[in-house]
Amino acid sequence: MIAIVDEVPDHTGAREALLDLSFGEERFTKTSERLREGRLPVLAFAALDDAGTFVGTVRLWSVTDRNGAESLLLGPLAVAPGLRGARIGDRLMRHALTQAAIYGHGSVILVGDLGYYARFGFSSGLLDKVTLPGPVAHARFLGVDLVPGHLAMLEGALAACGEPRGGATYRASIPEDLIVTSA
C-alpha cells in the first residue's frame, strides 16, 4: 500500500535521488526551475511504500503575474521507475490538486504532456497571455482552474513568489479523513 504524506525535511535526500534518476542533471536547466530556485514549495507531498521508502514526489510553488495575481506551479512530479504504471503519479496529482483547492488557490499551471495531464483537468491554450522566464513549448504550457476563470485573469511574465528557502516550513495538508467528497 502506498501512503501520500506531507513531505518533510528527512525526505530531501531520497527526493533528490529520485529526481536525478527521473530527470537527470537536465532538470536544473529547465525554465520551470527558474521559478523554483531559492524558494520553498507551498505544498509538497511524498509517496511512501509499506516500508516507508520514498517512491514518489510532487510539489507546488507560488508564482505571480505582472499584476500580482498568484497561481501555483506544479512540478516536478516523479515516481520510482519500478512503480511507474501503478497509478502513484495519479494519486499524487489528485492529492496535490485537492489540497490546493482546499487552501483556496485559484489555479495550477505546469509544463508537461497534455496526454497525461488532461485527465486531471489541465488544458492547453488557457495561458495565451502568460509567459515563463525562458523558453517553453507553448503546447506543453498547461493550466487548470480551481476557481472558474482564474487562469483568464493571469497575464504577463510569471515570477517566483512565496517563502524563500531557509527556516520556513511547508504548509500542512488537511488529513484525508477530513476531506468530504461527493460521488
Per-residue pLDDT of the chain (183 residues; tens, 9 = 90+): 999 999 999 999 999 999 888 887 788 778 888 899 889 999 999 999 999 999 999 999 999 999 999 999 998 999 999 998 899 999 999 999 999 999 999 999 999 999 999 999 999 999 999 999 888 888 999 999 999 999 999 999 999 997 776 644 444 343 343 333 333
Q: pTM for the full model?
A: 0.86
Contact yes or no for 161/38 (Cβ under 8 A): no
Interacting residues of 19 by C-beta distance below 8 A, sequence separation 6+:
27, 57, 76, 78
Count CB-CB contacts under 10 A for residue 4.
19
Domains located in the chain, CATH noted: 3-163 (3.40.630.30)
pLDDT confidence of residue 24: 75
**What are the respective helix, strand and coil percentages of the chain, to the nearest 5?**
35, 25, 40
| Burial (CB count within 10 angstroms: exposed 0-12, middle 13-18, buried 19+), residue 9 | exposed
CA angle (53, 22, 145) in 5-degree steps: 95
The total number of residues shown for the chain amounts to 183
Cell output for 160: 517566483
